[in-house]
Amino acid sequence: SQKIEQNSEALNIQEGKTATLTCNYTNYSPAYLQWYRQDPGRGPVFLLLIRENEKEKRKERLKVTFDTTLKQSLFHITASQPADSATYLCALEGSSNTGKLIFGQGTTLQVKP
Amino acid sequence: NAGVTQTPKFQVLKTGQSMTLQCAQDMNHEYMSWYRQDPGMGLRLIHYSVGAGITDQGEVPNGYNVSRSTTEDFPLRLLSAAPSQTSVYFCASSGTTSGIYEQYFGPGTRLTVT
């Protein structure tokens, strides 16, 4: 069956360091992968999308990689700040041209000053 | 633009009661979805719609009905509430601008079934 896995353990890092979050999937061949941020008590907010033919995507301090051979995406936040503390969700296209996404369970990041 | 709106924000139901969670979007998006979020489970897709008059089931559809009579609205109906439906419910919409299915989420409805 199709499965998306993110590290369920919280990631604690020091301010200024690079945070790296992992998203692994099985039995999928998604055309794209997305990353979202979710703060407590709020809905997720879109951050980045990377397509299957792209190896890397950047947006300000964020960087996403997508390895379709390893079936893995890495999400990096450089020069992390306490304001980056949140839960980060990866999502894969559930089926073509439907806008249907399947989400991982999310990884909570805590950046300490 | 208000984006995606959901009502109510909070609701307490007794087992067996029915209710409708409202969702509306003003971005003229074709696609709308309902998710539930439980601790440690992430977001699970309940139902989704690719346009007015078209709906389909997601991962966890049992106990829920949807309809899409207009582009703007996508209500979720709980037919006979059960404690297992205690959760936070999110509605989302997306369009195809630049071919990107970025989803916009509402603020959520926190439902407790006793």
User: In tens digits, what is the pLDDT along chain B, a chain of 114 residues?
Assistant: 789 999 999 999 999 999 999 999 999 999 999 999 998 778 999 999 989 999 999 989 999 999 999 999 999 999 999 999 999 999 999 887 656 678 999 999 999 999
Q: Are strands A107-112 and A11-14 parallel, antiparallel or unpaired?
A: parallel
Contact B90, B23 (CB under 8 A): no
Which H/E stretch holds residue B103? none
Average pLDDT over residues A63-71: 93
Looking at the partner chain, which of A46, A97, A103 has a beta carbon nearest the beta carbon of B102?
A46
Q: Decide which of A101 and A111 is more confident.
A: A111
Q: Do B108 and A42 touch (CB under 8 A)?
A: yes
Residues 6+ apart with CB under 8 A from A36: A44, A45, A46, A47, A88, A89, A90, A91, A103, B103
Q: Are strands A86-93 and A107-112 parallel, antiparallel or unpaired?
A: antiparallel
Q: Is A90 exposed, middle or buried (0-12, 13-18, 19+ CB in 10 A)?
A: buried
Beta bridge partners of B6: B23
Residues of B in contact with A32 (CB under 8 A): 100-101
Task: Identify the pLDDT of residue B41.
Answer: 79
Residues of B in contact with A53 (CB under 8 A): none
Residues of B in contact with A35 (CB under 8 A): none
Contact A89, A5 (CB under 8 A): no
Other C-beta atoms lying within 10 Å of the C-beta of residue A48:
18
Q: Do B90 and A46 touch (CB under 8 A)?
A: no
Closest chain B CA to residue A105: B42
A 54-93 residues with CB < 8 A to B: 89, 91, 93
Task: Identify the pLDDT of residue B99.
Answer: 63
pLDDT tens digit string along A27-48? 888 888 999 999 999 999 999 9
CA dist B91 → A6, A8, A58, A83, B17 (Å): 22, 24, 28, 25, 21
* A45 interfacial to chain B (CB closer than 8 Å): yes
In eight-state DSSP terms, residue A63 is E
Task: Identify the pLDDT of residue A95.
Answer: 62
Distance between CA atoms of residues A83 and A79, nearest Å: 11
